[in-house]
Amino acid sequence: MVAYWRQAGLSYIRYSAVCARVVRAALKPQFRVEAVKNAESSVRVNKVKTA
Amino acid sequence: MPPYTSTKYRMQVCVCARECVAVWISAYLIVMDVIHKRASSKEREKIAQRADERKSNAECVYEWKPPPDTPTPLHPARKAPCDVGDSNKMMAARFLLRRAAPALRQVRCYAEAASGAPQMSFTFASPNEVFFKGVSVKQVDVPTLTGAFGILPAHVPTLQVLRPGVVTVFSDDGTSAKYFVSSGSITVNADSSVQLLAEEAVPLENLDLATAKANLEKAQSEMGSASDEASRAEVQISIEANEAIVKALE
């Protein structure tokens, strides 16, 4: 059985990112700040300047 | 008078002759069989008679009696004692054993019971924090995409992918710890070591029920405004994740 998100064209990475975002949003306020900070630091997006 | 030289007449004669020969041969065989049977039964009677005569005429009667019950030495290859009471069986067994000796070179014994108290080495981590590292636990309940199941020591090796849900760890002293896991993977190896790697794992106490409910309603209202299939799927994912959180906290 194919998962509905797989059928819609999403990968498990996207699924995982959405789930993680939801969990972080449901944290109690004192933990949320730290969690968001940690989450941002694990992935850094560098836009390469094209010539 | 029919012409005796015609082919048809000759053929008929041949067939006739063949059948006659067959009949004669079978008759001969039957008669010989009967005679043989009669003769062999007579012979058997004669032999039995002679044996009786010998028995009655003999001064001492030789009759094979099994030796008295003595424990016979076991073949070194056999660890398990067999039924010692019946010496006949023992002798037959030893004879067969010698015949089968090459195959029995490898030591055979009763199967071992599953080695007592197998241990499960449990490792549970997220990118930010390590919760368990090689800790010996009794059971772990995990929510996977294919359903929630509990992992005990000596679980069949498997790779599973997690969905938002509660992971319960039952440690050796009977206490259980619950964590909410957003997603990730779980690996059960053949040596009973389990690795649970989560994207986002928090103890249940860190989650807020009211916030989760509010997020759930917001996501459900967003469902109507989703345009294409990908965004609709993402909204559906967030709805399911929020539902899982609410269910875990209630």
Hey, of B160, B234, B238, B249, which one would you mutate to test binding to chain A, going by the most A CBs within 10 A of its CB? B234
pLDDT in tens, B18-47: 888 888 998 999 999 999 888 888 888 998
Q: Chain B contacts of A10, Cβ < 8 Å?
A: 230, 233-234, 237
Q: What was the pLDDT predicted at A3?
A: 87
Task: State the burial class of residue B132 (Cβ atoms within 10 Å of its Cβ: 0-12, 13-18, 19+).
Answer: buried
Contact assignment for A22 to B242 by CB distance below 8 Å: yes
Average pLDDT of the segment spanning B148-155: 91
Q: How far, rounded to the nearest angstrom, does the alpha carbon of residue A39 sit from its chain's CA centroid?
A: 8
Q: What is the ipTM of this complex?
A: 0.81
Q: Between residues 128 and 167 of chain B, which touch chain A (CB distance below 8 Å)?
A: 128, 145, 161, 163-164
Q: Which of A8, A12, A38 sits opposite B229 (nearest CB)?
A: A8
Hey, of B126, B130, B163, B182, which one would you mutate to test binding to chain A, going by the most A CBs within 10 A of its CB? B182
Continuous H helices in B119-228: 209-225
Contact assignment for A23 to B202 by CB distance below 8 Å: yes
pLDDT in tens, B87-134: 666 676 676 666 655 555 667 767 655 555 578 899 999 988 899 998
pLDDT band at B5 (very low <50, low <70, confident <90, very high): low
Does the domain made of B120-206 have the CATH classification 2.60.15.10?
Answer: yes
**Token pair for residue B183?**
């997603």
Cα–Cα distance measured from residue B212 to residue B249, given in angstroms and rounded to the nearest whole number = 9
DSSP state of B174: S
The CATH homologous superfamily for domain B209-249 is ATP synthase delta/epsilon subunit, C-terminal domain (1.20.5.440)
Task: State the burial class of residue B77 (Cβ atoms within 10 Å of its Cβ: 0-12, 13-18, 19+).
Answer: middle
Contact assignment for A24 to B211 by CB distance below 8 Å: no
Q: Where are the domains of chain B?
A: 3-57, 60-100, 120-206, 209-249
Q: What was the pLDDT predicted at B105?
A: 62
